Amino acid sequence: MTAPLQIGLMGYGFAGQTFHAPVIAHSGTANLPVTLAAIATSQAERAQADYPDAAIVPDLDALLSLDAIECVVIATPNDTHYELARRTLERGKHVLVDKPVTLTAEEARTLAAIAKQRGLVFAPFHNRRWDGDFLTVKQLIANGELGRVTHYESHFDRFRPQVRQRWREDATRGGGLLYDLGPHLIDQTLALFGAPESVTAFVHTRRDHASAPDYAHLVLRYDGLDAVLHASALAAYAPRFAIHGTRGSYLKNGLDTQEDQLKAGLRPGQPGFGDGNEAGRLHVMADDGQESDRDVPNAAGNYADLYRALAAAIREGTPFPVSPQDAVDVMTIVELAMRSAEEGRTIAFTRAQ
């Protein structure tokens, strides 16, 4: 029997409590068992109450000193990711880093280089590749139901008019929607279409008393396709996806349900987890010219598959679905978006390796 992959979680704030700890604890399989073995946090009592079998330690040094830990998950504020991930890799442990993996493309390249040199896994946490609606979109595009896609629009909008006092709203700490939600939108687009030819962006701070950007509108240009990516903190209603092609269109409202389910205490593997996404609407033209509309149920999302892929990468050498180059490309596009917005022009994308 394969020994369980021993994972240590660095950070037990919102991301650690919601997206990482419960999913790690419910992601193991008979062939690839996974254990949440330790948590590094200042909230020791809460972490111990939630995960009584995990070792609770105060910081990364204590976590790295645990010989049994094979992989560390970084779930801390954005401006700490690079340093914590670098130290983890240099101690010979695999690492998964929440998005954005770093604040610059150069930092992402450095982590990728260290991991490659040491034969370690450097995995970006782009869990939205396992959203049910994105899996559905991926299948619709792959099977050609939309024909050749000419316009792809992806929104990750929220209605939060009041600015909260937290690091995610602090521009000096890598806060703001371009760094918070932008990586999800960009990574999904790269997974579908690859690297773009150019980036045009508009990045603004719209809310009263906000210091970090709360509006990001990007256009990634491809040959024959524009990918429009949008995130706003002042959008109560907006489509999640709007995709148009030579054979039809697809429209999807509502966000994936897994985040809300995890907040409510539902766990991967339990009945209903990953279900409940609002169906999309597909309009297509058949070969005989007849047009039709139908609802498209969503595939079931499952964030646990990300951790199963991580276990397979570490135990079996299977490439992790989100590559280190993907992490570098995402941060390159974030940087280009900031430049484009500041300079008011379209900027060509050049892959940094």
* pLDDT value of residue 170: 72
Counting every residue written for the chain, the total comes to 353
Query: Is 315 inside any structural domain?
Result: no
Q: Say if residue 156 is in the same domain as residue 220.
A: yes
The DSSP call for residue 120 is -
Q: Say if residue 116 is in the same domain as residue 139.
A: no
Q: Say if residue 62 is in the same domain as residue 169.
A: no
Residue that finishes a domain, picked among 127, 143, 163? 127
Instruction: Kindly report, residue by residue over 287-306, the tens digit of the pLDDT.
Output: 888 999 999 999 999 999 99
The pLDDT of residue 329 is above 70: yes
Q: Say if residue 98 is in the same domain as residue 229.
A: no
Query: Is 119 inside any structural domain?
Result: yes
The pLDDT of residue 352 is above 90: no
Query: Is 227 inside any structural domain?
Result: yes
Instruction: Kindly report, residue by residue over 9-56, the tens digit of the pLDDT.
Output: 999 999 999 999 999 999 999 999 999 999 999 999 999 999 999 999
Handedness of CA 122, 134, 183, 247 (dihedral sign): positive
Query: Is 204 inside any structural domain?
Result: yes
Q: From CA 238, how far away is CA 233, in angstroms rounded?
A: 11
Residue 284 belongs to what domain range?
A: 129-305+332-348
Q: Which of 100, 80, 99 is nearest to 40 (CA)?
A: 80
Average pLDDT of the residues of the chain: 95
- Amino acid, single-letter form, for residue 72: V
* Number of structural domains in the chain: 2
* pLDDT value of residue 167: 66
Query: Is 314 inside any structural domain?
Result: no
Q: Say if residue 214 is in the same domain as residue 249.
A: yes
Q: Say if residue 208 is in the same domain as residue 232.
A: yes
Q: From CA 188, how far away is CA 154, in angstroms rounded?
A: 9
* pLDDT value of residue 226: 97
Residue that finishes a domain, picked among 65, 97, 127? 127
Residue that finishes a domain, picked among 102, 127, 152? 127
Query: Is 48 inside any structural domain?
Result: yes
Q: Say if residue 107 is in the same domain as residue 240.
A: no
3 and 35 in contact (C-beta within 8 Å)? no
Q: Say if residue 13 is in the same domain as residue 153.
A: no
Q: Which CATH number covers residue 10?
A: 3.40.50.720
Instruction: Kindly report, residue by residue over 172-181, the tens digit of the pLDDT.
Output: 677 789 999 9
Alpha carbons within 13 angstroms on the beta-carbon side of residue 4 total 16
The pLDDT of residue 310 is above 90: yes
Q: Say if residue 110 is in the same domain as residue 186.
A: no
As to burial, measured by CB atoms within 10 angstroms (0-12 exposed, 13-18 middle, 19+ buried), residue 52 is exposed
Instruction: Kindly report, residue by residue over 66-106, the tens digit of the pLDDT.
Output: 999 999 999 999 999 999 999 999 999 999 999 999 999 99
Over pLDDT 70: what percentage of the chain?
98
For the whole model, what pTM was predicted? 0.95
Instruction: Kindly report, residue by residue over 105-134, the tens digit of the pLDDT.
Output: 999 999 999 999 999 999 999 999 999 999
**Stretch 1-14: mean pLDDT, rounded?**
92
Query: Is 144 inside any structural domain?
Result: yes
7 and 24 in contact (C-beta within 8 Å)? yes
Q: Say if residue 147 is in the same domain as residue 256.
A: yes
* pLDDT value of residue 211: 87
The pLDDT of residue 210 is above 70: yes
Over pLDDT 90: what percentage of the chain?
89
* pLDDT value of residue 345: 98
Q: Say if residue 176 is in the same domain as residue 48.
A: no
Q: From CA 217, how far away is CA 237, in angstroms rounded?
A: 16
The pLDDT of residue 353 is above 70: no
**Stretch 60-67: mean pLDDT, rounded?**
98
Query: Is 254 inside any structural domain?
Result: yes
The pLDDT of residue 1 is above 70: no
Q: Say if residue 122 is in the same domain as residue 156.
A: no
Q: Which CATH number covers residue 191?
A: 3.30.360.10
